[in-house]
Amino acid sequence: MRTVVCPQLGPLGDIAIEDRPPLAPGPDEVIVNVRAAGVNFVDGLICQGKYQIKPPTPFVPGSEIAGEVAAVGAAVHGVSPGDRVIAMTGFGGFAEQVAVPAALVVRAPDKLGFGQAAALIQSYSTSLFTLSRRTSVTPGEWVLILGAGGGIGLACTDVAVALGAHVIAAASTPEKLEAAEEMGAEATIAYEDEDLKTRARELSGGGVDVVVDTVGGRHSEPALRATRWWGRFCVVGFASGTIPSLPLNQILLNNRTVVGVDWGAWTFRDQAGFSELLTELMKMVESGKLHPPEPAERPLVEAAKAMEDLIERRVIGKVVLVP
């Protein structure tokens, strides 16, 4: 089976394709024939050695997949060959096959294609975790989303609208803003050209209730200043590459709260909580409350290019590898 291999942490150009023998399941494992593997911003950072997690090399990147079960281990119950499933793999997803502990496999919602299903968990569960667990968005509140045309940005837009909020999408290009509007954003701000703080205050009638910041850098402080009385500022990521410093007086004023979001660590520390969140997420997808976007599809051989495109800000929404 063909697999993407990162031989050492460094330039994405070092990534290669290898042929490896087909996998056989351990007693508690499931072998999945991968139909799509979600590519995330962090995958590129990990391969380059720029992320806090530095796996031993060589390794196969790819943390989330959707596919069909090919074989199950002797101790596995409730999952059968042929089932359509989604799994968080940690690593190993960028391949034709992956071995996953059966406990980590989730049935793929019938209404989603493999691409949508593969790109679902990281973006949508981070978004639902942010807006319903780290803060609580209530109907009628105004939510400002930075990087709204990205993977988490679009998912957060979808989740916030499903929770009854008004969304203001902020992004760099008309195409990204249009994608956020299609997802339900009521207003947009082109944050490279417009005054983010002033526009967000105008559009929300005085200030937003919640900011979701996936970008960091120079946009964070004006976004914080755009929050109203009791505003919450959710720190999700630093895609710009710059970790900003926020003035504490701006947090004191208006009784604002800055909320850290570490979804990945939480999924390990509170597996019951994560499982509950996933069940809630799948119900929202099945009932049509959420609308996971159709991702762009790329072949396995373009893994490095797909990661580079994310890092270079060229992707709208999600991208998956299709083995």
Ligand X SMILES: NC(=O)c1ccc[n+]([C@@H]2O[C@H](COP(=O)([O-])OP(=O)(O)OC[C@H]3O[C@@H](n4cnc5c(N)ncnc54)[C@H](OP(=O)(O)O)[C@@H]3O)[C@@H](O)[C@H]2O)c1
Among 38, 62, 109, 151, binds ligand X (CB under 6 A): 151
| From 31-39, 56-64, 178-186, 306-314, span contacting ligand X (CB under 6 A) | 306-314
Of 296 and 311, nearer to ligand X (C-beta) is 311
Apex 64 CA angle, 81 and 28, nearest 5? 45
User: Which residues does residue 213 pair with via DSSP β-bridges, in sequence order?
Assistant: 146, 235
Q: Which of residues 260-289 bind ligand X (CB under 6 A)?
A: 261-264
Pairing mode, if any, of strands 208-213 and 296-299?
unpaired
The mark string for 223-262 relative to ligand X (x by CB under 6 A, - otherwise) is -------------xxxxxx-------------------xx
Kindly state whether residue 147 participates in binding ligand X, applying the rule CB under 6 A: yes
How many residues bind ligand X, per CB under 6 A?
31
Is 41 a residue that touches ligand X (CB under 6 A)? yes
38-46, 77-85, 86-94, 111-119 -> range binding ligand X (CB under 6 A):
38-46
**Main-chain phi, psi angles of 320, to 5 degrees:** -125, 155
Q: In this chain, which of 3, 135, 214, 227 binds ligand X, going by CB under 6 A?
A: 214
Length of the chain: 323
Binds ligand X (CB under 6 A): choice among 153, 231, 295, 323: 153
In the sheet with 227-235, reading across from the earlier edge strand, the strands are 187-190, 166-171, 142-146, 208-213, 227-235, 257-260
Tell me: does residue 40 bind ligand X (CB under 6 A): yes
Which residues are CB-contacts of 202 (< 8 A; sequence separation ≥ 6)?
Answer: none
Q: Which of 208/315 has CB closer to ligand X?
A: 315
Q: Which of 39, 118, 152, 211 binds ligand X (CB under 6 A)?
A: 152
Residues 199 and 114: beta-carbon distance below 8 Å: no
107-126: which residues touch ligand X (CB under 6 A)? Answer: 122-123, 126
Helix (H, G, I), strand (E, B) or coil at 108: coil
What amino acid is encoded at 58 in this protein?
P
Tell me the helices (H) and strands (E) count for the chain, helix number first. Answer: 11, 15
Return the structure tokens found at 27: 């007693």
Name the nearest CA neighbour of 152 among 178, 183, 173, 175. 183
Residue whose CB is nearest to ligand X in the complex, by number:
150
Kindly report the number of other CB atoms within 10 A of residue 69's CB atom: 22
Check residue 42 for interaction with ligand X (CB under 6 A).
yes
The distance from CA 30 to its chain's CA centroid, rounded to whole angstroms, is 24
150 binds ligand X (CB under 6 A): yes
Task: Let me know: does 32 contact 65? Beta carbons within 8 Å.
Answer: yes
Q: Which stretch binds ligand X (CB under 6 A): 1-9, 243-251, 268-276, 310-318?
A: 310-318
Q: How far is the CB of 260 from ligand X (least distance, A)?
A: 8
Q: Which of 61, 67, 115, 149 binds ligand X (CB under 6 A)?
A: 149
Token pair in block for residue 111? 């209404």
- From the CB of 214, what's the least distance to ligand X, in Å? 4
In the complex, the residues that contact ligand X under the rule CB under 6 A are: 40-42, 122-123, 126, 147, 149-153, 171-172, 176, 214-215, 236-241, 261-264, 310-311, 313, 315
